[in-house]
Amino acid sequence: MSASSKGLGRAVALELAREGVDVAICARSEAALRDTESALRETDVRVLAMPIDLTEAGAPAAFVEATVAEFGRLDILFANVGGPPAGTVDTFELADYEEAVNSNLMAQVKMCLAALPHMRAARWGRIIILGSLTMKQPVEGLMLSTMARSGVAGFAKSLSDEIAAEGITVNCVCPGRILTDRIRTLAQMRSDRTGEPLEVSLKLFDADMPAKRMGQPEELSALVAFLASERASYITGAAIQVDGGWTRSIT
């Protein structure tokens, strides 16, 4: 469960731990990582908490290998990375696009490639990639996310084809707006732009949704737990939105 000291990653780690899954978590800053580690230890499973920056070249593979070294196996990969900055074509530099590809495409690809040999050896595996609504449609201000995650969607679909017969499923989960620090930051950016209080921006974010509210992290982690289970054995190559109906595509 990468990028998992806060937000969606933390919710997924807790959900799976409550189901009895030993979990490895990682993040850059120690404080939140140790806090989540403590919460996980209360569930009585084995926990590995690794401070690491997934944007560093060897870090995604190192995280996977440390997990296998600790637990002797790897059954479920929840591949998550922090989101790219918001902005527009007029505000981004070339380096921003390159960083987004490195972080929000290549770090996830690297984790999948590192996990694959272990899952193939076991002839069982669940790869669940944390994507975004931007895999299905562009979202204003999130060009970098849309660009990088389109690549992730293509990688995941192609990979699912190639390994479906080996008992390994590959799926993406696509949050719209689930209330985490990431969404609070995006709401704050809107407030900074408009001069309106944060509460107003958050209320507008709620109002955008057909459900008229943003989601809670547990509403996404429930789907991940299902996709990770034996019961989801025939679901692969899917990109499933968790967005209160926000996605505009018909399928």
Does 19 interact with ligand NAP (rule: CB under 6 A)?
no
Q: From CA 208, how far away is CA 199, in angstroms rounded?
A: 14
Residues 23-62 within binding reach of ligand NAP (CB under 6 A) = 26-29, 32, 52-55
CA dist 54 to 57, 58, 76, 82, 236, Å?
8, 8, 18, 9, 25
- Report the SS3 class of residue 220: helix
Among 13, 21, 81, 112, binds ligand NAP (CB under 6 A): 81
Cβ atoms 149, 104 nearer than 8 A: yes
Closest CA to 80 of 6, 187, 137: 6
Does 83 interact with ligand NAP (rule: CB under 6 A)?
yes
Residues 173-202 within binding reach of ligand NAP (CB under 6 A) = 175, 177-178, 180-183
Does 136 interact with ligand NAP (rule: CB under 6 A)?
no
Does 208 interact with ligand NAP (rule: CB under 6 A)?
no
Phi, psi of 27 (to 5 degrees): -170, 170
| Closest distance to ligand NAP from the beta carbon of 34 (Å) | 11
Does 110 interact with ligand NAP (rule: CB under 6 A)?
no
DSSP 122: H
| Closest distance to ligand NAP from the beta carbon of 146 (Å) | 11
| Closest distance to ligand NAP from the beta carbon of 193 (Å) | 19
Residues listed for the chain: 251
Binding site for ligand NAP (CB under 6 A): 3-9, 26-29, 32, 52-55, 80-83, 130, 132-133, 145, 175, 177-178, 180-183
